[in-house]
Amino acid sequence: MRLSAAPQDTLLFDLRFNRSEHDLFSAFRKIYGEKPAVEKRLKALLQRHWLARSEALKNLDLKRDLNPDWFLSEKMVGYVFYVDRFAGNFNGVLDHIGYFESLGINYVHFMPCLKPRPGNSDGGYSVMDYRAINPALGTMQEFEAVAQALREREISVTIDLVLNHTAKEHEWAMKAKAGDIQYQDYYLMFDSQAEVLAYEKTLVEVFPNDAPGNFTYYPEFNKYVWTTFNEHQWDLNWANPEVFLEIADIMLFLANKGVDCLRLDAVAFMWKRLGTNCQNLPEVHDILQALRAATRIAAPAMIHKAEAIVAPRDLVTYLGVGRHTGREANLAYHNNLMVHYWSSLATRDTQLMTYVLRKHFPERFRNASWATYLRCHDDIGWAITDEDCAQVPGIEAFAHRKYLADFYAGQFPGSFARGGIFQENPLTGDKRNSGSFASLAGLESAETELEMEAAINRILMGVALMASFGGLPLLFMGDEIGLLNDYAFAQVPEHAHDNRWLHRPEMPWGKRSAIQQRVFDGTRYIIQQRKACPHLAADIPTRIVAVGNSAVFAFVREGDEGPLLAMFNFSELWQNVPNEFLSAQGALKFLDVLSAASVATPEGYVQLPPYARVWIT
């Protein structure tokens, strides 16, 4: 007999609380110690949000409880966009749901859409109200309507939640500024310059050109505030359990508005310790585990994606290792796959890519995987270490990073790329790059039919790589039609100081050019083939293999259907791979999934055209 609504809700809450209680409080107590009164408040908060959840969302909770690996399916493909630049506002998004379906998208990420501070808001990441939508995009009611419409078409919704800081105009910050001691403890504030200088000794600058240093002094209340990213972004004090309760409350509020996934921004910086660089500290992982357990209790349909653009040894930990295995973020950005795709394109050599991806990354995770991407809203930071380069003959790390930055700015002789230099540090010589996928891949500079063909194939090879590597592939808005750099950003006062707007053009709705249609059709075809290929589910191991040809990158997906061998030619020249290599990886029929044709030749080797991509079973 079916239970009545209230007893059933109580039963489900108790069952889920019992399931995740240990994950929640073991991590919580690692950070804050035994605090029975706070833990009691936390449990009450979780129960309140669960009871407030709509029936539609409770049904989704049950569906995903029965299929907890839903986001690991080979059928999942994501699309990331700025609402205003894609559709004007949230109501406009409703007009383009059919576009997502035509492309094969079932996961969308609205770039920062919560209410930002007025003026410069770091692209929306300086949030003054987590419970309101940016008025320029619409209202919370309109957001809910869009989320519901997408959910009814089985498209999941992701939004950004900044965990490291708030805008200095946030209600908590305003109270702290007014002298409220309770809210001053929500932030990292110091009375003496000596304390600040002690921390600065081991900190790095994130935006050395625009926001040097990590602290800001405010004479009006005589305190130094920790401001890692910008003066208007105040770092939260996660050592205060009240901050944990506040953020958990916000997360569940957003879950009940229809959010399926939270992209947790700037997580690497959340915990501070004197004498360290205050990044990737162990307490961060306890916080993330406890937050995931909290949402698994009160909104189990929701998953978490960690935004941690860090070195390989640190990146893996955000998907859960050791006692956090299977308990931390469900997704994390594979920035190393992105970096080495561009590195290998510039050098026509995949040896460093093969070494790094095989050396530092496990073949799979428990209940977690990568978000694979090749471009996003942000710049490309050349996360290539001295230690890794030392293992590959002929590469010196600093020179290689400089070469890549110059190459993708179009400043190196013979470069096909067109982009910009972002945040050059004159002290260290480090510099990063801005630019759209298509412009960096050579579509903007192409003058001949041959150059145009090469650029299109670089793009489609990249799409095939991120669609097959292992994880949830993410297309950034416009990449599916090869949008070029938007140099008009420099004419917009609020954008002119930040050349990352170079690769954030407005979506041109209307008739596509022949080239745009080719990129779109090629991208859509790869997505269709991915969805039909169970080898490519994210929980299938990805084993990197060395081909013996430095221009070719390869890996094997060892699925229940047998192995799939993926190979990618990173050069503009034809490359040969012996049939014996394919046989050694378990390939029996030499059938390429993407072309539906055999790739074997009578000569005893596979011939890979320039920028070829093949998925061989």
Task: Give me the phi and psi of 101, to 5 degrees please.
Answer: -65, -35
C-alpha closest to that of 370 among 440, 251, 265, 468: 468
What is the C-alpha R_g of the chain?
A: 24
Strands 472-476 and 542-545: unpaired
Selecting among 61, 205, 235, 307, the annotated active-site residue is 307
Residue length, the chain? 617
DSSP per-residue string spanning 138-195: --HHHHHHHHHHHHHTT-EEEEEEE-SEEETTSHHHHHHHTT-HHHHTTB-EES-HHH
Residues ≥6 apart with Cβ < 8 Å to 328: 285, 288, 289, 292, 304, 306, 317, 318, 319, 320, 368
- Structure tokens that stand for 465 in this block: 């790589």
- Give the orientation angle of helix 514-531 with respect to helix 449-468, to 10 degrees: 20
Could you tell me how far CA 359 lies from the centroid of its own chain? 21
Number of CB atoms found within 10 A of residue 461's CB: 23
CA distance 306 to 371: 10
Instruction: Respond yes or no: is residue 307 known to be catalytic.
Output: yes
406 as an active site residue: the answer is no
Q: Which of 23, 169, 265, 444 is catalytic?
A: 265
CA 466 to chain CA centroid, nearest Å: 13
Q: Within 10 Å of residue 595's Cβ, how many Cβ atoms?
A: 13
**Alpha carbon distance 605, 601 (integer Å):** 6
Angle between helices 36-52 and 241-255 (to 10 degrees): 10
Q: How many CB atoms lie within 10 A of CB 212?
A: 10
- The neighbour count for residue 591, using CB atoms within 10 Å, is 16
* Catalytic site positions: 265, 307
